[in-house]
Structure 1
Amino acid sequence: MPTYEAFLSDDRAIEGLPIRLVIAIVVGVASLSIMMSMLGGIGTLGATELDAQPEAEVIDADERTLSVTVVDESGEPVEGATVVVDGDSAQLDEIATGTSGEDGTASVRIDPELRQNQDRGTLQIDIKPPSGTDFQDKRQNTEVLVVDR
C-alpha cells in the first residue's frame, strides 16, 4: 500500500489517465456541438432576423421625416417594432425613434448635420423587435447616407 510520502514524491501528473476517457470527452463535445447547430436551424426554435429598409438610402442634410420599413427574412412587414435612428459619422441632436404600423413602416423625424468640412456622413438604424416574438436584430442594418449638396 502506497504511503503518503510516495504520493508527494510522485511527479507523473496525469500519466495514468486512460486514453479512452480523453477520446470519449472529445467525441462527446464534438457530437454536442453538431446537435446544437442542428437545433439552431429549426424554425420554431431559432429567431428570425429583422431588417430595416429606409425609403431613401441617400438624403440631404436637412430636417425631414424618414420612413423605414421593418421586414423579416422573407420580406414580410413586421408590426410593432421600434426603429431607432442615431448619428454615426453624421450627427443628430437627439436619437429619433418610431414604431412600425401594420404595413411595417415607421416614420421618424430627423435633422442630420454634418461637421465642418464634411460633405457626407451616415446615420445608423437599429431595430428593437416587438416583445413576445421570436424576432431579433443581430446583423447590421442599412445605413442612410447624408450628403451636403
Structure 2
Amino acid sequence: MSRVYHGSCHCGAVRFEAELDLASGTGRCNCSICRKLRFWGAMAKPDTFRLISGEDALADYQFNTQSTHNLFCRHCGVHSFHRGYVEQIGGAFLSANLACLDDASDEEWAAAPVRYSDGRDNNWWNAPAITSYL
C-alpha cells in the first residue's frame, strides 16, 4: 500500500517526503555506485516526491551515461535520493534511499521485497549470481 514517507540526510539539512509503496518492491544493484554506497532504493515518479528543504545543500555526481543525478548532502555526505531519466524504466524517476526514511518501521523495512539488478554487467533486468553482499 502506498503512503507518504518522510526522509532526511544525517545532519537534517536535506528533508523530503515521497509517496512510496514498499510492499510493491525495492531495489538493490551491484553497479559501481550502488555497490559502494550500499544504496537501497524505492522508485517513485517525480510528482510524488517533494523536497522540503536542502536544495542548496545538495551536491550532484554524475558518471557514465549521465542519466542519473546521484545527489548527496554536501555537509554530511548522505545520499538521500537519486533522480534521473531512463527511458527503459518509464522515463523520469526518483529513487528514495530507504535508509533515509525517518518514519518507516523496522517491520516495513523487513517486509519490503527486494529486487536485485546486475548493473555491473549492464544486465539490469536480471539479478547477479551473488546477492548476499548487497
TM-score range, shorter chain: under 0.3
TM-score norm. by structure 1 comes to: 0.22
TM-score norm. by structure 2 comes to: 0.23
Q: Which has the larger radius of gyration?
A: 1
Q: Report which of the two has the higher share of strand.
A: 2
Q: Which has the higher contact order (CA 8 A, sep 6+)?
A: 2
